[in-house]
């Protein structure tokens, strides 16, 4: 296992579209172990996407269980995630490992359904709400080369320096 380096804005690799994983094999699982170690080394972080460490494949990990009072599925690896249903809009403040000094308000769907494969290659489906749904949408955006700073809510730029609050 190894901790991987997090790419930081404006690194161009964060703007690439990641490719689907064709086969979930031992090499992919080894990479996922490294990604998990990287995420767990970063206190307070609730998700990470493979392109954030420079691997342009559609793999994410989310785990919002450290945030109390948010319904969630615990630690989940999602390979080739696809949102199949969404409803409602809710605005919330987000941050990102790859935009380390800022947070900003983004509108996300409140309820979603997602299909994916897990680290064994098994097809899975989850319904997610609220904070977990937000975290997932944020990570899927990374797979499409998007960052939260692209979709800030409001007429004026709502970025806040982390030290401001
Ligand atoms: Ni992020």
Flag whether 154 is in a domain.
Answer: yes
Calpha distance 134→112 (Å, rounded):
9
Domain range for 44: 12-161
- Asked if pLDDT for residue 84 goes beyond 60, the answer is yes
CA of 122 to the centre of ligand 1 (A): 25
Instruction: Give the active site residues.
Output: 139
Whichever domain contains 148, its CATH number is 3.90.45.10
CB 100 within 8 A of CB 77: no
- Is residue 108 domain-resident? yes
pLDDT, tens digit (0-9, with 9 covering 90-100), for 101-111: 999 999 999 99
| Alpha carbon of 34 to ligand 1 centroid (Å) | 17
Q: Model-level pTM?
A: 0.94
* Residue 5 falls inside a structural domain: no
For residue 131, how far is its CA from the centre of ligand 1 (angstroms)? 14
Residue 90 in domain: yes
DSSP, res 19 = B
Nearest to 148, CA basis, from 158, 138, 162: 138
Q: pLDDT digit string (tens) for 43-61?
A: 889 999 999 999 999 999 9
């Amino acid at each position: 296992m190894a901790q991987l380096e997090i790419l930081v804005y404006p690194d161009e690799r964060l703007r690439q579209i990641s490719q689907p994983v064709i086969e979930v094999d031992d090499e992919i699982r080894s990479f996922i172990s490294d990604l998990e170690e990287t995420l767990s080394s970063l206190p307070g972080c609730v998700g990470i996407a493979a392109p954030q460490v420079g691997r342009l494949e559609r793999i994410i990990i989310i785990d919002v269980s450290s945030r109390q009072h948010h319904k969630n599925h615990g630690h989940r690896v999602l390979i080739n995630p696809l949102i199949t249903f969404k409803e409602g809009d809710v605005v919330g403040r987000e941050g990102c490992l790859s935009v380390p000094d800022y947070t900003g308000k983004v509108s996300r769907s409140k309820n979603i359904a997602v299909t994916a494969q897990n680290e064994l290659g098994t097809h899975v489906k989850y319904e997610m709400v609220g904070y977990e749904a937000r975290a997932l949408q944020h990570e899927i955006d990374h797979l499409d080369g998007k960052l939260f700073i692209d979709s800030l809510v409001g007429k004026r730029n709502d970025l806040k320096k982390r030290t401001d609050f």
